[in-house]
Structures are given as structure tokens and as C-alpha cells.
Amino acid sequence: MKHLKNLFLLLLLSFFITLTACKEEDQQKIDDTLKNLGWFGDENNATIPNDINLGTGTVPASVNLLPKFPPIGNQGQYGTCVAWSTGYNFRTYLNAMKNNLSTSALNSTSNQFSPIDLFWSVPSSLKGADCNGTSFEAALDILVSRGVTTLATAPYTGLGDCSSQPPSSWTLDAGNYKISNYRDINIDKNVIKGYLADNRPVIIGARLGNNFMGWNSSSVLTTDGTTYNGQHANHAMILAGYDNNQGPHGAFRVVNSWGTTWGDQGYIWVDCDFFCSTFCFAAFVGADDNNNILPDTTVTGYDLVGWEMVDRDNANSGDPLDRQCLYNVNNIGSDEILASKKWSILYLYYNAYDANDYGILIYDYYTNEYGSLGDDGDLSTVETDSSKFLGSAGNWYNYLNIPGGSSVFEIWAQNQNPPATGTRFQYSYSMPSSVNGDYYLVLIADGFDVIPETDETNNYVYYCQSNGDPLHIDNGIIQGGYKSLMTNMSTVKNTSHPNTYSTKEITKLLMHEKQTGGLQKKVLNFKSQQKNNIKTFSNK
């Protein structure tokens, strides 16, 4: 009996030793896995523009974007997950969509984009030593300004300590594969589903735990074990779809970069509620370079150009919120723009990092709905429908036809009795005191894109700092050493600010807001701050 008892104790001890060894082995696997993550997890979202939110309609029960993704990759023992999610997966997907690549074509490295090229291109000051991670902002800025070459050109081998710079041949080829922009989005399951349903994969940063680390199943991850802290607990991946019938709350399809032996052949389903509440800490979308509007150098038909715009303090008022905007708009096309087109000139502000934070200050409406040819005036004197008042500080109408080669001020001046002199309109307006942060002021000729023009980009004139930086505004008052100037450019997007909002994005926002009544709501909100602004004209 004593021998049986000793045997039992020996077996029990052996079991615990085995169990402890298994746990230590599992923990070692987890510790090893923690070494090959590499998202810093400290994005400066305040300087990353938010995506312009146009709302989401009804979305399908499931979306699968995987047919336009490359095969599952493996980052190995390097902290290059950001380069894999943004370069290999995201950039490859955009190219596949643009060129309608097949699954077989995506198996070729000539149609896949290189994580080593992207990671090496990130400045050393923005990544850890020995291939030890980076941020989304650093990698995505490279995709916007430099681009990334293919995996055929730059194979994922011989990374060294990742302090190397890509050779010039890689950089030359990378210039063919830039992206237009990237945008921060809210971590909300309906918002994310809306992007996926619009064929836009979502780049994500997650904080991982034990369950995720050792996942080896096609079932849905609904919770996680111990959540690790620090740099190596943060991981970059990308969403390639969702399915409302997966798990208790629906699930997002996550694409990882740990090879096909992990998870569900390299993928994992993550419960939507768990994803948004606990798992995901950053989310981004982006656009290919075909999102840009390229100007046509041949000027024919209609072509409106913003011109001679200046914004300055109102010298006739002691209120620092009161300002003056002076501008003119030319039709450099060959065809006359009739008032019956019902087009508009808008002057507005928008937040440099959240274009959803905007307001129209001055609304100048060219129409034949009021008075006779040559008439102009305060819109409120001829229109009783307040929904047509879109400017918070001023709403005006002009019954004018603008011939090719003429400016709006020139035609207006000719219709005055006696004819007026000068070169531009002058409007007094008041900046709402609720405006706080970094903003651009912009004049847009044909703000709602009514006129089919040869070149849409030259409709925009920005008032900003001379280097293209936005103006800082506190409680409606422009700060710093600004001075009156005209920044006559089609966009503030330049080599120093490659990720700013494009003219196409701003126009799309305004058109959507007008159609949905958002502009009218903004005017009502600002009504309490409106002053009695009077339209006058410059004699300069």
C-alpha cells in the first residue's frame, strides 16, 4: 500500500512538472512572439487628419476583401508589423483594386509591396534600433511622400539591424506607387463596417493578450487573457472584412503577418464588440494616388479661377472677431457662365486635422432667381426660405453672366451706375468665437461643383501661413505673426504637408452637407453669433 501511495505521489509530481514545463514552453512562445510585433502604439492623432465623415448607409451582412489581398506574409523575428500591414497588405490591396488583379497575379512578388523597403525608408529617429518597431504615422507618411517598391525589387531578406537606407533604384521605383493620403477614423463597429463595405480596408493597431498570441482556430476571439504592456504588446494588422453571422456579435476578419501556421491559416475572426471596446487602439484608411484631380492644361469651355484673395482685420471695428475678405474670381475659359447655372462662391474655415469641423462664413450666390440682370444684394431681402442661407456671416446674390476672359468683379462693376472702380469685392464678416485650433481659410469658386470645368483644382485659394501651415485660432481670433496675404494655390498639399485634405475631399464634404441639410444646421447654430454685416466694395 505504501508503494502504491509513493507511486501515486510520483505520478502526481511528474504531472505537475510536465504541466509547469508546458506552461513555461507556452510562455516562452508568447515571449518570443512579443519580440516580433513592433507598433509603437503612440500615434499623434492630433496631427493626423480625420477622415471626412459622410455617414454610412445600409451595409451588407458580410464583406470579404481578401480576394484582392496578397498571400499571408511572415515578418519573422523583426518588429516590422507596421510595414507589413501598411506596405505589404494595404498598398498591395490598393494596387490590386486599381488594376483588377486576380488571385493568381497577387501570388507574384511583382504585384506585392516590400516591407523591407518601407521600413528601411523610415528615418532612424522614428523607429527602434535593431528593427524594433515604428509608428503608423511614420510609415504612412513615407507611402504618401515617397511610395514603396515591390517585393520583387526588394525581397524581405537580410534586414540586418534595419539602419540601412534603401538604394536609389528602390526609391526610383517606389515613386510609382505612392498613396494620396491616409486618415484617422473612429473605432466604431458601424463606421468600420461602412468603410469595409465601401471596399476600403482598415489598418489597425491592437494591444494583444495570451489568447491572441496562441490562437490556432477558425472560431471567434471574444476575449483575451493577460494584456501585455509596453511597445512589444502593440501590434499592427489590417481588416479585410466582417461577417455578422460569426460569433455572438458578428466579427471582423483580421489579416496578420505571422505566417500561415498561426491562427486560422494566418487570419483571425475578432468579435466586433470586443474589437471596439478592448482590442483595437488605432484605425486608419487611405486612398490611392488616383484620388487626385489632375489639371488639364488646355483651357476650353468653363474654367473659374480664385483670384486676388486677402483676409485682414477689419480696421473699422474694434472687435478682433471682425474681419474683411477681399477677393475676385475669373472665368478664364472660352464660354460665358450664365446666372441660370445657379453657382456659388464660398468662403469658409475648416480644421486642418478634422475637416468635419468647418463653417461657411460668406455665401455669394450667382443666380437668375432674383431681380433682373445686373442686380445684386443681401439674399435675406429677396428670399424668405432660410434654408437657402448657407453663410453664417453673410449671404448675397448676384444676377450676373460672366463671359469667358472676364472676372466677377469686372462684370459687377460694369453694371453699377456709375460704373464702379477697383479690382475686387470686399466683404465684412465676423469669425465665430467657437472656432478653436488650427484652421485654413479658403475661397472656393463654384463651391458645390455646379459648373463642368476644364480644371477644378484652380478654384481654390487658401489663406494660411506662408509655408502652408494652418492658422492657429483661439476663440475666433487668429494668433501669431500672420499678415494679409494671398496664397493662390490649388491645394495646401505640398512636400512639407503631403497628407493635408485635397480639394476633392473638401468639395465632396460640402456637396454632401448641402444635400443632407448639414450646412443649414450650422448656420442656425451660428445665428446667435451673427452680426449685421454689410457688403461693400474695395476702391483699390
Domains of the chain: 34-291 (3.90.70.10), 304-537 (no CATH)
For residues 112, 113, 117, 119, the Cα torsion angle rounded to the nearest 10 degrees is -120
CB atoms inside a 10 Å sphere around CB 357: 16
pLDDT at 15 over 50: no
Average pLDDT, the chain: 85
HSE-CB for 374 with a 13 A CA cutoff: 8
Mean pLDDT of 153-165: 93
Amino acid at 502: S
Interatomic CA distance for residues 69 and 235, integer angstroms: 19
Mean pLDDT of 439-467: 87
Confidence of residue 117 (pLDDT cuts 50, 70, 90): very high
Interatomic CA distance for residues 231 and 237, integer angstroms: 15
What pLDDT is attached to residue 43?
75
Per-residue pLDDT tens over the stretch 77-108: 899 999 999 999 999 999 999 999 999 999 99
What pLDDT is attached to residue 527?
56
Mean pLDDT of 324-350: 94
CA angle 474, 512, 388 (to 5 degrees): 80
Does residue 385 or residue 111 have the better pLDDT? Answer: 111
What pLDDT is attached to residue 54?
79
For residue 179 the three cell numbers come to: 498613396
What pLDDT is attached to residue 8?
41
Does residue 251 or residue 311 have the better pLDDT? Answer: 251
Q: Are 270 and 189 in contact (CB under 8 A)?
A: no
CA angle 431, 437, 442 (to 5 degrees): 55
For residue 18 the three cell numbers come to: 510536465
Q: What is the pTM of this model?
A: 0.84
Place of cell 497575379: 105
CA angle 509, 512, 513 (to 5 degrees): 85
Q: At what angle do helices 503-516 and 518-526 cross, to 10 degrees?
A: 80
Per-residue pLDDT tens over the stretch 56-81: 678 999 999 999 999 999 999 899 99
Residues 6+ apart with CB under 8 A from 36: 75, 76, 77, 78, 79, 81, 258
Per-residue pLDDT tens over the stretch 211-251: 998 899 999 999 987 665 544 479 999 999 999 999 999 99
**Residues above pLDDT 90, as percent of the chain:** 61
Interatomic CA distance for residues 509 and 503, integer angstroms: 10
Cα–Cα distances (Å) from 381 to 135, 286, 371, 385, in that order, read 55, 45, 11, 11
Per-residue pLDDT tens over the stretch 312-332: 899 999 999 999 999 999 999
